[in-house]
Amino acid sequence: MKHPLIHLAIGSLFVVSGAVMAQNNAPQDGVKVGEMSIFRKLAGTGQLEGQAAQQYVQTMQQAQEQHALAPSNNPQVIRLRAIAAKLIPFALRWNERALDWKWQVNLLGSKQINAYCMPGGKIAFYTGILETLKLTDDEVAIVMGHEIAHALREHGAERAGKNMAATLGVKALELFASVKGYDPSLAGAVGGGVAKVGMLKFSRDDETEADVVGLDIAARAGYDPRAGVALWQKMGMASKGAPPQWLSTHPAGSDRIAEIQRHLPEVMPLYAHAKGLDSNAITPYKTNVKGIAAVD
């Protein structure tokens, strides 16, 4: 029989996580996702964007001091900013507040296979992701669309709000335990463990949503959404020894590929329209790495 504290911990946290959903205007065509979480309001989106802007400036200044910030005339910076310029107009439909963001795109010299978009539209790519994965423009657009989607869907504020709610839930559990004669430290440990697993699940959900919304943005901007399949095949080649899906904040690559393929019927017409092509006339997507098959 399960310990009553475990029931209480799970119950209290699922009550919190059940209060999810309130959303802006989502597109009527293309992909469909759920409403944005009300948890994002707990953290204060505007405040978070201000903090992100300060952190971004500090990061760029530090990179410049270390001669790791690529100059504006760097061919890869020009390339990244050109792709961003095509994506951003189609990003605005997912969050009207993004119209007022001061978008920035920079390139950092690092072997990390990484990229991000902070709240408020602050984008950074690492040279490692471009060079190690040999990203095509379509694949860059998939990565950038994914990162932009995190900011548009306010996942940073959502995660901060959920962490606040989880902390309050654990404190409440400890108080309840002490009143009922249970060991408060045991209650806190049980509640904290459930909260940690819950946060991982929320993060994987955010990653999946960002994948899907990013596909929509990239397709509308004229980038082939099938590049997402090749991208994650490349990522799989470069990330051997990754932790199991259950203990990772990111869905497994095979799961991401399956999710992308599931949404291709929704986004391929957007891509065809952007390119002025008949859907039946689109040729398979071919990446630039041997061993990865063309994607129909």
Active site residues per annotation = 147
Place of tokens 């004229």: 222
CA distance 53 to 181: 47
Q: How far is CA 201 from CA 113, 155, 187, 194, in A?
A: 23, 13, 21, 11
CA distance 190 to 68: 44
CA distance 166 to 172: 10
Q: Which residues contact 232 (CB under 8 A, 6 or more apart)?
A: 253, 256, 257, 260
- Output the DSSP codes for 35-51: PPPTTHHHH-HHHHHHH
Q: Which residues contact 131 (CB under 8 A, 6 or more apart)?
A: none
- Output the DSSP codes for 176-243: HHHHHTS-HHHHHHHHHHHHHHHHHHHHHHHHHHHHHHHHHHHHHTT--TTHHHHHHHHHHHH-TTPP
